[in-house]
Structure 1
Amino acid sequence: MTKQLKRFENKVALVTGGRSGIGQAIARRLRDEGATVITAQRGKDEEFDWIEADFSDSDSSERIVKEVIARTGQLDVVINNAGMMQEASIEEMSVEDWQRNLSVNLTAPFLLIQAALPYLRQTKGSIVNTGSTEGLAANPQHAAYCASKAGLHGLTRSVAVDHGHEGIRCNAVAPGWIDTELNIDMIANNSDAEAFRRDIASIHPVGRTGSPEEVAALVAFLAADEAGFITGQVYTVDGGRMTKLSHP
Protein backbone atom coordinates (compact mmCIF):
# COMPACT_ATOMS: atom_id res chain seq x y z
CA MET A 1 0.00 0.00 0.00
CA THR A 2 1.34 3.41 -1.00
CA LYS A 3 2.19 5.64 1.93
CA GLN A 4 -0.05 8.72 2.05
CA LEU A 5 1.81 11.91 1.21
CA LYS A 6 1.66 14.73 3.76
CA ARG A 7 2.76 17.66 1.63
CA PHE A 8 0.43 20.17 3.27
CA GLU A 9 0.95 19.68 6.97
CA ASN A 10 0.69 22.97 8.87
CA LYS A 11 -0.70 24.66 5.76
CA VAL A 12 -4.06 26.32 5.16
CA ALA A 13 -5.87 25.91 1.84
CA LEU A 14 -8.87 27.83 0.55
CA VAL A 15 -10.91 26.00 -2.11
CA THR A 16 -13.73 27.87 -3.82
CA GLY A 17 -16.59 25.72 -5.02
CA GLY A 18 -15.30 22.98 -2.76
CA ARG A 19 -18.62 21.41 -1.80
CA SER A 20 -19.03 19.20 -4.88
CA GLY A 21 -17.42 17.88 -8.04
CA ILE A 22 -13.81 18.71 -8.81
CA GLY A 23 -13.64 21.21 -5.96
CA GLN A 24 -14.70 18.61 -3.41
CA ALA A 25 -12.12 16.15 -4.72
CA ILE A 26 -9.42 18.84 -4.43
CA ALA A 27 -10.50 19.74 -0.91
CA ARG A 28 -10.42 16.09 0.14
CA ARG A 29 -7.00 15.50 -1.42
CA LEU A 30 -5.48 18.52 0.31
CA ARG A 31 -7.06 17.55 3.62
CA ASP A 32 -5.83 13.98 3.30
CA GLU A 33 -2.34 15.33 2.74
CA GLY A 34 -2.46 17.34 5.94
CA ALA A 35 -3.94 20.73 5.03
CA THR A 36 -6.46 22.70 7.02
CA VAL A 37 -9.11 23.23 4.33
CA ILE A 38 -11.78 25.90 4.14
CA THR A 39 -14.25 25.90 1.26
CA ALA A 40 -16.25 28.86 -0.05
CA GLN A 41 -19.48 28.59 -2.08
CA ARG A 42 -23.20 29.03 -1.92
CA GLY A 43 -24.74 26.82 0.73
CA LYS A 44 -23.48 24.74 3.62
CA ASP A 45 -20.57 22.34 3.25
CA GLU A 46 -21.30 19.28 5.39
CA GLU A 47 -17.71 18.02 5.21
CA PHE A 48 -15.43 21.05 5.59
CA ASP A 49 -15.21 24.32 7.44
CA TRP A 50 -16.86 26.71 5.00
CA ILE A 51 -17.70 30.30 4.15
CA GLU A 52 -20.88 31.46 2.43
CA ALA A 53 -19.99 33.08 -0.90
CA ASP A 54 -21.70 34.63 -3.90
CA PHE A 55 -18.97 35.04 -6.51
CA SER A 56 -21.09 37.32 -8.65
CA ASP A 57 -20.72 39.84 -5.80
CA SER A 58 -17.43 41.73 -6.13
CA ASP A 59 -17.22 42.23 -2.37
CA SER A 60 -17.16 38.48 -1.63
CA SER A 61 -13.52 37.75 -2.37
CA GLU A 62 -11.97 40.17 0.11
CA ARG A 63 -14.45 39.12 2.79
CA ILE A 64 -13.61 35.44 2.26
CA VAL A 65 -9.87 35.95 2.57
CA LYS A 66 -10.27 38.06 5.71
CA GLU A 67 -12.44 35.33 7.21
CA VAL A 68 -9.84 32.65 6.44
CA ILE A 69 -7.16 34.74 8.16
CA ALA A 70 -9.44 35.41 11.12
CA ARG A 71 -10.03 31.68 11.59
CA THR A 72 -6.55 30.32 10.90
CA GLY A 73 -4.04 33.20 10.91
CA GLN A 74 -2.46 32.20 7.60
CA LEU A 75 -3.09 31.25 3.97
CA ASP A 76 -0.79 28.97 1.99
CA VAL A 77 -2.82 27.64 -0.93
CA VAL A 78 -5.59 29.26 -2.98
CA ILE A 79 -7.66 27.10 -5.33
CA ASN A 80 -9.93 29.12 -7.62
CA ASN A 81 -12.39 26.42 -8.63
CA ALA A 82 -15.87 27.98 -8.41
CA GLY A 83 -17.46 28.64 -11.77
CA MET A 84 -20.58 28.62 -13.88
CA MET A 85 -21.62 27.78 -17.42
CA GLN A 86 -24.54 29.23 -19.35
CA GLU A 87 -25.43 27.98 -22.80
CA ALA A 88 -26.59 30.58 -25.30
CA SER A 89 -25.71 31.76 -28.76
CA ILE A 90 -23.91 35.07 -29.03
CA GLU A 91 -27.03 36.66 -30.49
CA GLU A 92 -29.22 35.35 -27.68
CA MET A 93 -26.96 36.18 -24.74
CA SER A 94 -27.71 39.41 -22.93
CA VAL A 95 -24.97 41.71 -21.73
CA GLU A 96 -26.12 41.04 -18.17
CA ASP A 97 -25.66 37.27 -18.58
CA TRP A 98 -22.31 37.78 -20.29
CA GLN A 99 -21.10 39.96 -17.43
CA ARG A 100 -22.32 37.48 -14.80
CA ASN A 101 -20.37 34.64 -16.41
CA LEU A 102 -17.22 36.75 -16.52
CA SER A 103 -17.80 37.99 -12.96
CA VAL A 104 -17.98 34.47 -11.53
CA ASN A 105 -15.37 32.75 -13.73
CA LEU A 106 -12.77 35.47 -14.14
CA THR A 107 -13.30 38.59 -12.02
CA ALA A 108 -13.88 36.65 -8.80
CA PRO A 109 -10.60 34.70 -9.12
CA PHE A 110 -8.79 37.96 -9.90
CA LEU A 111 -10.24 39.62 -6.80
CA LEU A 112 -9.55 36.57 -4.62
CA ILE A 113 -5.92 36.49 -5.74
CA GLN A 114 -5.63 40.23 -5.18
CA ALA A 115 -6.96 39.90 -1.64
CA ALA A 116 -4.80 36.85 -0.89
CA LEU A 117 -1.47 38.21 -2.14
CA PRO A 118 -0.38 39.90 1.12
CA TYR A 119 -0.80 36.60 2.98
CA LEU A 120 0.67 34.42 0.24
CA ARG A 121 3.79 36.60 0.33
CA GLN A 122 4.24 35.66 3.97
CA THR A 123 3.98 31.91 3.31
CA LYS A 124 5.53 31.76 -0.18
CA GLY A 125 2.20 30.30 -1.17
CA SER A 126 0.75 28.89 -4.35
CA ILE A 127 -2.35 29.40 -6.47
CA VAL A 128 -4.03 26.87 -8.73
CA ASN A 129 -6.89 27.97 -10.97
CA THR A 130 -9.41 25.59 -12.50
CA GLY A 131 -9.53 26.55 -16.14
CA SER A 132 -10.95 24.37 -18.90
CA THR A 133 -10.21 22.82 -22.26
CA GLU A 134 -12.83 25.33 -23.38
CA GLY A 135 -10.29 28.01 -22.61
CA LEU A 136 -8.25 26.40 -25.40
CA ALA A 137 -11.03 25.43 -27.83
CA ALA A 138 -14.81 25.82 -27.97
CA ASN A 139 -18.03 23.89 -27.80
CA PRO A 140 -21.18 25.35 -29.37
CA GLN A 141 -23.05 28.10 -27.53
CA HIS A 142 -20.41 28.49 -24.83
CA ALA A 143 -19.04 31.91 -25.79
CA ALA A 144 -19.06 33.43 -22.30
CA TYR A 145 -17.65 30.29 -20.67
CA CYS A 146 -14.89 29.94 -23.25
CA ALA A 147 -13.95 33.60 -23.03
CA SER A 148 -13.87 33.56 -19.24
CA LYS A 149 -11.72 30.41 -19.05
CA ALA A 150 -9.31 31.70 -21.68
CA GLY A 151 -9.06 34.86 -19.59
CA LEU A 152 -8.39 32.79 -16.48
CA HIS A 153 -5.52 31.06 -18.28
CA GLY A 154 -4.10 34.47 -19.15
CA LEU A 155 -4.53 35.68 -15.59
CA THR A 156 -2.63 32.60 -14.40
CA ARG A 157 0.37 33.50 -16.53
CA SER A 158 0.26 37.15 -15.49
CA VAL A 159 0.20 36.38 -11.77
CA ALA A 160 3.14 34.00 -12.23
CA VAL A 161 5.16 36.66 -14.04
CA ASP A 162 4.32 39.51 -11.68
CA HIS A 163 4.72 37.69 -8.38
CA GLY A 164 7.21 34.90 -8.95
CA HIS A 165 9.99 37.01 -7.46
CA GLU A 166 8.01 37.07 -4.21
CA GLY A 167 7.95 33.29 -4.01
CA ILE A 168 4.33 33.03 -5.15
CA ARG A 169 3.53 30.49 -7.85
CA CYS A 170 0.40 30.37 -9.99
CA ASN A 171 -0.67 27.53 -12.29
CA ALA A 172 -3.90 26.26 -13.81
CA VAL A 173 -5.47 22.97 -14.78
CA ALA A 174 -7.72 22.66 -17.82
CA PRO A 175 -10.02 19.69 -17.29
CA GLY A 176 -11.92 18.10 -20.14
CA TRP A 177 -14.86 15.73 -19.64
CA ILE A 178 -14.83 14.82 -15.95
CA ASP A 179 -17.39 12.58 -14.26
CA THR A 180 -18.89 15.13 -11.93
CA GLU A 181 -22.43 14.64 -10.67
CA LEU A 182 -23.64 17.15 -13.25
CA ASN A 183 -22.08 15.25 -16.17
CA ILE A 184 -23.15 11.87 -14.86
CA ASP A 185 -26.74 13.10 -14.54
CA MET A 186 -26.60 14.54 -18.06
CA ILE A 187 -25.60 11.14 -19.45
CA ALA A 188 -28.24 9.34 -17.38
CA ASN A 189 -30.97 11.68 -18.66
CA ASN A 190 -30.04 11.11 -22.30
CA SER A 191 -32.57 9.13 -24.37
CA ASP A 192 -29.89 6.49 -25.05
CA ALA A 193 -27.54 6.79 -22.10
CA GLU A 194 -25.40 3.77 -22.98
CA ALA A 195 -24.78 4.93 -26.54
CA PHE A 196 -24.01 8.45 -25.36
CA ARG A 197 -21.57 7.10 -22.77
CA ARG A 198 -19.80 5.02 -25.45
CA ASP A 199 -19.62 8.02 -27.79
CA ILE A 200 -18.12 10.23 -25.11
CA ALA A 201 -15.56 7.58 -24.17
CA SER A 202 -14.58 7.06 -27.82
CA ILE A 203 -13.41 10.65 -28.35
CA HIS A 204 -10.73 10.14 -25.69
CA PRO A 205 -7.54 8.28 -26.64
CA VAL A 206 -7.50 6.67 -23.18
CA GLY A 207 -10.96 5.26 -23.94
CA ARG A 208 -12.80 6.78 -20.98
CA THR A 209 -13.76 9.98 -19.26
CA GLY A 210 -11.91 11.36 -16.23
CA SER A 211 -12.59 11.43 -12.52
CA PRO A 212 -12.52 14.43 -10.19
CA GLU A 213 -9.83 12.66 -8.18
CA GLU A 214 -7.51 12.60 -11.20
CA VAL A 215 -7.79 16.38 -11.51
CA ALA A 216 -7.27 16.74 -7.76
CA ALA A 217 -4.06 14.72 -7.91
CA LEU A 218 -2.54 17.18 -10.38
CA VAL A 219 -3.79 20.20 -8.45
CA ALA A 220 -2.20 18.86 -5.27
CA PHE A 221 1.12 18.36 -7.03
CA LEU A 222 1.08 21.88 -8.49
CA ALA A 223 0.18 23.40 -5.12
CA ALA A 224 2.91 21.49 -3.28
CA ASP A 225 6.44 22.69 -2.62
CA GLU A 226 7.89 19.90 -4.80
CA ALA A 227 6.51 21.78 -7.82
CA GLY A 228 8.55 24.81 -6.80
CA PHE A 229 10.03 25.36 -10.27
CA ILE A 230 6.66 25.18 -12.04
CA THR A 231 4.67 28.37 -12.51
CA GLY A 232 2.63 30.12 -15.18
CA GLN A 233 1.54 26.83 -16.74
CA VAL A 234 -1.85 25.54 -17.88
CA TYR A 235 -2.02 21.74 -17.67
CA THR A 236 -4.62 19.96 -19.77
CA VAL A 237 -6.35 17.02 -18.03
CA ASP A 238 -8.50 15.51 -20.76
CA GLY A 239 -7.48 11.93 -21.53
CA GLY A 240 -5.86 13.11 -24.75
CA ARG A 241 -9.06 14.53 -26.24
CA MET A 242 -7.51 17.82 -27.34
CA THR A 243 -4.65 15.93 -28.99
CA LYS A 244 -6.83 13.65 -31.13
CA LEU A 245 -7.67 14.88 -34.62
CA SER A 246 -11.11 14.18 -36.09
CA HIS A 247 -11.48 11.96 -39.17
CA PRO A 248 -10.28 12.11 -41.84
Structure 2
Amino acid sequence: MSRFAGKVALVTGASSGIGAAIADRLASDGARVFSVQLEETGHLETIVADLCDSGVPDLAIDHVIQQAGRLDILVNNAGRMVEARVDEMGLHEWRRTMALNLDAPFLLIRHAMPHLRKSRGAIVNIGSIEGLASNPGHAAYCASKAGLHGLTRAVAVDGGPEGVRCNSVAPGWIDTDFNVKFIHALPEQARGRLGAIHPLGRTGRVEEVAAMVAWIASDEASFVSGQTFVVDGGRTAKLSLP
Protein backbone atom coordinates (compact mmCIF):
# COMPACT_ATOMS: atom_id res chain seq x y z
CA MET A 1 0.00 0.00 0.00
CA SER A 2 1.39 3.45 -0.90
CA ARG A 3 -1.06 5.94 0.61
CA PHE A 4 1.94 8.00 1.82
CA ALA A 5 4.17 7.67 -1.26
CA GLY A 6 6.36 10.76 -1.56
CA LYS A 7 5.43 11.99 1.92
CA VAL A 8 7.70 12.60 4.89
CA ALA A 9 6.80 11.90 8.51
CA LEU A 10 8.40 12.68 11.86
CA VAL A 11 7.47 10.43 14.81
CA THR A 12 8.73 11.10 18.32
CA GLY A 13 9.47 8.31 20.78
CA ALA A 14 9.65 5.65 18.07
CA SER A 15 12.22 3.31 19.62
CA SER A 16 9.58 0.93 21.03
CA GLY A 17 5.91 0.39 21.80
CA ILE A 18 3.25 2.52 20.17
CA GLY A 19 5.76 4.89 18.61
CA ALA A 20 7.66 2.08 16.89
CA ALA A 21 4.41 0.60 15.57
CA ILE A 22 3.34 3.98 14.20
CA ALA A 23 6.68 4.55 12.47
CA ASP A 24 6.62 1.05 10.97
CA ARG A 25 3.03 1.49 9.74
CA LEU A 26 3.72 4.84 8.10
CA ALA A 27 6.85 3.44 6.46
CA SER A 28 4.99 0.35 5.21
CA ASP A 29 2.41 2.71 3.70
CA GLY A 30 5.13 4.48 1.73
CA ALA A 31 6.29 7.39 3.90
CA ARG A 32 9.87 8.35 4.55
CA VAL A 33 9.97 8.28 8.34
CA PHE A 34 12.25 10.20 10.69
CA SER A 35 12.23 9.75 14.44
CA VAL A 36 13.34 11.62 17.54
CA GLN A 37 14.18 9.24 20.37
CA LEU A 38 16.61 8.62 23.20
CA GLU A 39 18.48 5.79 21.52
CA GLU A 40 19.46 4.54 18.10
CA THR A 41 17.58 1.45 16.94
CA GLY A 42 18.97 1.22 13.43
CA HIS A 43 15.76 0.89 11.42
CA LEU A 44 14.74 4.55 11.08
CA GLU A 45 16.38 7.84 10.18
CA THR A 46 16.89 8.74 13.80
CA ILE A 47 17.69 11.93 15.67
CA VAL A 48 19.02 10.79 19.05
CA ALA A 49 18.03 13.50 21.51
CA ASP A 50 16.06 14.27 24.66
CA LEU A 51 12.88 16.18 23.89
CA CYS A 52 12.85 17.53 27.45
CA ASP A 53 15.56 19.87 26.14
CA SER A 54 13.57 22.82 24.75
CA GLY A 55 16.07 23.33 21.93
CA VAL A 56 15.63 19.86 20.46
CA PRO A 57 12.24 20.32 18.72
CA ASP A 58 13.49 23.10 16.44
CA LEU A 59 16.67 21.15 15.64
CA ALA A 60 14.60 18.04 14.81
CA ILE A 61 12.31 19.86 12.39
CA ASP A 62 15.27 21.61 10.76
CA HIS A 63 17.03 18.26 10.33
CA VAL A 64 14.03 16.72 8.57
CA ILE A 65 13.71 19.68 6.22
CA GLN A 66 17.44 19.66 5.45
CA GLN A 67 17.41 15.93 4.70
CA ALA A 68 14.03 15.53 2.99
CA GLY A 69 12.99 19.02 1.91
CA ARG A 70 9.46 18.73 3.26
CA LEU A 71 7.27 17.56 6.14
CA ASP A 72 3.80 16.09 5.68
CA ILE A 73 3.04 14.25 8.94
CA LEU A 74 4.03 15.04 12.52
CA VAL A 75 3.23 12.44 15.20
CA ASN A 76 3.83 13.57 18.77
CA ASN A 77 4.10 10.27 20.63
CA ALA A 78 6.97 10.60 23.13
CA GLY A 79 5.81 10.70 26.74
CA ARG A 80 6.54 9.75 30.31
CA MET A 81 4.58 8.84 33.42
CA VAL A 82 5.55 9.27 37.06
CA GLU A 83 3.33 7.68 39.68
CA ALA A 84 2.70 10.05 42.59
CA ARG A 85 -0.25 11.69 44.24
CA VAL A 86 -0.47 15.41 43.61
CA ASP A 87 0.54 16.16 47.21
CA GLU A 88 3.55 13.84 46.94
CA MET A 89 4.96 14.97 43.60
CA GLY A 90 8.02 17.21 43.47
CA LEU A 91 8.01 20.23 41.21
CA HIS A 92 10.96 18.87 39.23
CA GLU A 93 9.08 15.69 38.25
CA TRP A 94 5.95 17.69 37.44
CA ARG A 95 7.88 20.03 35.16
CA ARG A 96 9.82 17.23 33.45
CA THR A 97 6.56 15.43 32.68
CA MET A 98 5.07 18.61 31.24
CA ALA A 99 8.26 19.29 29.28
CA LEU A 100 8.06 15.98 27.42
CA ASN A 101 4.30 15.37 27.25
CA LEU A 102 3.09 18.90 26.48
CA ASP A 103 5.89 21.41 25.89
CA ALA A 104 7.68 19.28 23.29
CA PRO A 105 4.55 18.77 21.13
CA PHE A 106 3.84 22.52 21.31
CA LEU A 107 7.40 23.40 20.27
CA LEU A 108 7.46 20.81 17.47
CA ILE A 109 4.11 22.00 16.12
CA ARG A 110 5.17 25.63 16.31
CA HIS A 111 8.33 25.07 14.28
CA ALA A 112 6.68 22.62 11.88
CA MET A 113 3.70 24.81 10.95
CA PRO A 114 5.33 26.72 8.04
CA HIS A 115 6.27 23.40 6.43
CA LEU A 116 2.94 21.75 7.13
CA ARG A 117 1.15 24.71 5.55
CA LYS A 118 3.12 24.09 2.35
CA SER A 119 2.25 20.40 2.29
CA ARG A 120 -1.26 20.82 3.75
CA GLY A 121 -0.11 18.27 6.24
CA ALA A 122 -1.44 16.46 9.30
CA ILE A 123 -0.54 16.41 12.99
CA VAL A 124 -1.44 13.47 15.23
CA ASN A 125 -0.91 13.82 18.97
CA ILE A 126 -0.86 10.66 21.08
CA GLY A 127 -2.86 11.50 24.18
CA SER A 128 -4.46 9.00 26.53
CA ILE A 129 -7.75 8.01 28.07
CA GLU A 130 -6.09 9.49 31.16
CA GLY A 131 -6.52 12.85 29.49
CA LEU A 132 -10.25 12.16 29.84
CA ALA A 133 -10.32 10.42 33.23
CA SER A 134 -7.77 9.36 35.83
CA ASN A 135 -6.17 6.43 37.55
CA PRO A 136 -4.83 6.95 41.08
CA GLY A 137 -1.48 8.67 41.45
CA HIS A 138 -1.24 9.97 37.89
CA ALA A 139 -1.77 13.70 38.42
CA ALA A 140 1.01 15.01 36.18
CA TYR A 141 0.37 12.48 33.41
CA CYS A 142 -3.37 13.18 33.37
CA ALA A 143 -2.87 16.94 33.36
CA SER A 144 -0.35 16.77 30.53
CA LYS A 145 -2.53 14.52 28.35
CA ALA A 146 -5.64 16.63 28.97
CA GLY A 147 -3.55 19.63 27.92
CA LEU A 148 -2.44 17.81 24.79
CA HIS A 149 -6.04 17.12 23.83
CA GLY A 150 -6.81 20.81 24.32
CA LEU A 151 -3.78 21.82 22.26
CA THR A 152 -5.04 19.50 19.51
CA ARG A 153 -8.31 21.40 19.26
CA ALA A 154 -6.59 24.80 19.32
CA VAL A 155 -4.15 23.85 16.57
CA ALA A 156 -6.99 22.44 14.47
CA VAL A 157 -8.85 25.74 14.74
CA ASP A 158 -5.81 27.89 13.99
CA GLY A 159 -4.36 25.65 11.27
CA GLY A 160 -7.56 24.68 9.50
CA PRO A 161 -7.83 27.75 7.26
CA GLU A 162 -4.33 26.98 5.99
CA GLY A 163 -5.06 23.33 5.31
CA VAL A 164 -3.33 21.83 8.36
CA ARG A 165 -5.32 19.17 10.20
CA CYS A 166 -4.66 18.23 13.83
CA ASN A 167 -6.18 15.30 15.73
CA SER A 168 -5.28 13.20 18.74
CA VAL A 169 -5.54 9.53 19.65
CA ALA A 170 -6.31 8.49 23.22
CA PRO A 171 -5.17 4.89 23.71
CA GLY A 172 -6.38 2.80 26.62
CA TRP A 173 -4.54 -0.24 27.93
CA ILE A 174 -2.19 -1.27 25.10
CA ASP A 175 0.19 -4.24 25.13
CA THR A 176 3.49 -2.40 25.02
CA ASP A 177 6.54 -4.26 26.35
CA PHE A 178 6.27 -2.30 29.60
CA ASN A 179 2.59 -3.10 30.07
CA VAL A 180 3.03 -6.77 29.16
CA LYS A 181 5.72 -7.16 31.83
CA PHE A 182 3.42 -5.44 34.32
CA ILE A 183 0.51 -7.75 33.43
CA HIS A 184 2.61 -10.90 33.74
CA ALA A 185 3.72 -9.78 37.21
CA LEU A 186 0.10 -9.64 38.38
CA PRO A 187 -1.66 -12.57 40.08
CA GLU A 188 -3.65 -14.67 37.62
CA GLN A 189 -6.97 -13.46 39.06
CA ALA A 190 -5.95 -9.83 38.56
CA ARG A 191 -4.95 -10.52 34.94
CA GLY A 192 -8.44 -11.87 34.35
CA ARG A 193 -10.04 -8.76 35.78
CA LEU A 194 -7.93 -6.58 33.50
CA GLY A 195 -9.49 -8.15 30.42
CA ALA A 196 -12.96 -7.99 31.95
CA ILE A 197 -12.94 -4.19 32.28
CA HIS A 198 -12.92 -4.01 28.46
CA PRO A 199 -16.16 -4.81 26.60
CA LEU A 200 -14.03 -6.45 23.90
CA GLY A 201 -12.61 -8.73 26.58
CA ARG A 202 -8.93 -7.96 26.01
CA THR A 203 -6.28 -5.27 26.02
CA GLY A 204 -5.17 -3.58 22.81
CA ARG A 205 -2.28 -4.09 20.40
CA VAL A 206 0.17 -1.40 19.33
CA GLU A 207 -0.69 -2.12 15.69
CA GLU A 208 -4.31 -1.14 16.37
CA VAL A 209 -3.25 2.29 17.56
CA ALA A 210 -0.90 2.63 14.58
CA ALA A 211 -3.74 1.79 12.19
CA MET A 212 -5.82 4.62 13.63
CA VAL A 213 -2.93 7.06 13.33
CA ALA A 214 -2.31 6.06 9.72
CA TRP A 215 -5.94 6.67 8.82
CA ILE A 216 -6.05 10.05 10.56
CA ALA A 217 -2.88 11.16 8.79
CA SER A 218 -4.11 10.03 5.37
CA ASP A 219 -6.19 11.81 2.77
CA GLU A 220 -9.04 9.44 3.64
CA ALA A 221 -9.53 11.63 6.73
CA SER A 222 -9.24 14.91 4.84
CA PHE A 223 -12.36 16.40 6.53
CA VAL A 224 -11.40 15.24 10.03
CA SER A 225 -9.76 17.72 12.38
CA GLY A 226 -9.85 18.77 16.03
CA GLN A 227 -10.95 15.34 17.25
CA THR A 228 -9.74 12.93 19.91
CA PHE A 229 -10.17 9.29 18.90
CA VAL A 230 -10.42 6.87 21.81
CA VAL A 231 -8.83 3.47 21.16
CA ASP A 232 -9.61 1.50 24.32
CA GLY A 233 -11.72 -1.54 23.50
CA GLY A 234 -14.79 0.22 24.90
CA ARG A 235 -13.30 0.61 28.38
CA THR A 236 -14.37 4.22 28.93
CA ALA A 237 -17.84 3.51 27.55
CA LYS A 238 -18.52 0.91 30.23
CA LEU A 239 -20.06 1.97 33.54
CA SER A 240 -18.77 0.22 36.64
CA LEU A 241 -21.04 -2.14 38.51
CA PRO A 242 -22.37 -1.16 41.98
Letter in 2 for 1:48: L
Question: Which runs of no fewer than 5 residues in structure 1 stay unpaired?
Answer: none
Whether the 8 Å CA contact 1:187–1:197 is kept in 2: the answer is yes
SS at 1:82 equivalent:
coil
Deviation, structure 1 residue 196: 2.5
Which residue, out of 12, 15, 18, partners 1:19?
15
1:116-135 equivalences under 5 Å are 116-135=112-131
**1:41 and 2:41 correspond:** no
Deviation, structure 1 residue 87: 0.4
Deviation, structure 1 residue 242: 0.2
Corresponding position of 2:214:
220
Which residue, out of 224, 233, 240, partners 1:239?
233
Counterparts of 2:12 and 2:49, CA distance in 1: 9
Which residue, out of 142, 145, 155, partners 1:146?
142
1:59-208 equivalences under 5 Å are 59-190=55-186, 192=187, 194-208=188-202
Matched residue count = 242
Deviation, structure 1 residue 55: 1.3
Counterparts of 1:233 and 1:183, CA distance in 2: 26
Q: Deviations over 1:9-38 (max 9, x none)?
A: 000000000110000110011000000001
Deviation, structure 1 residue 66: 0.4
TM-score (norm 2): 0.99
SS at 2:202 equivalent:
coil
Letter in 1 for 2:230: T
Deviation, structure 1 residue 95: 1.0
RMSD: 0.7
Question: Which runs of no fewer than 5 residues in structure 2 stay unpaired?
Answer: none
Counterparts of 1:113 and 1:72, CA distance in 2: 18
Whether the 8 Å CA contact 1:39–1:45 is kept in 2: the answer is no
- Worse-superposed segment, 227-236 or 88-97: 88-97
Counterparts of 1:142 and 1:167, CA distance in 2: 35
SS at 2:41 equivalent:
coil
Deviation, structure 1 residue 198: 1.1
Counterparts of 1:200 and 1:51, CA distance in 2: 36
**1:8 and 2:4 correspond:** yes
Whether the 8 Å CA contact 1:17–1:24 is kept in 2: the answer is yes
SS at 1:246 equivalent:
coil
SS at 2:225 equivalent:
coil
Counterparts of 1:69 and 1:79, CA distance in 2: 16
TM-score (norm 1): 0.96
Counterparts of 2:216 and 2:233, CA distance in 1: 18
SS at 2:125 equivalent:
strand
Which residue, out of 204, 213, 218, partners 1:210?
204
Q: Deviations over 1:160-212 (max 9, x none)?
A: 0001010000000000000000000111223x2x3232111000000000000
Whether the 8 Å CA contact 1:40–1:50 is kept in 2: the answer is yes
- Identity of aligned pairs, percent? 56
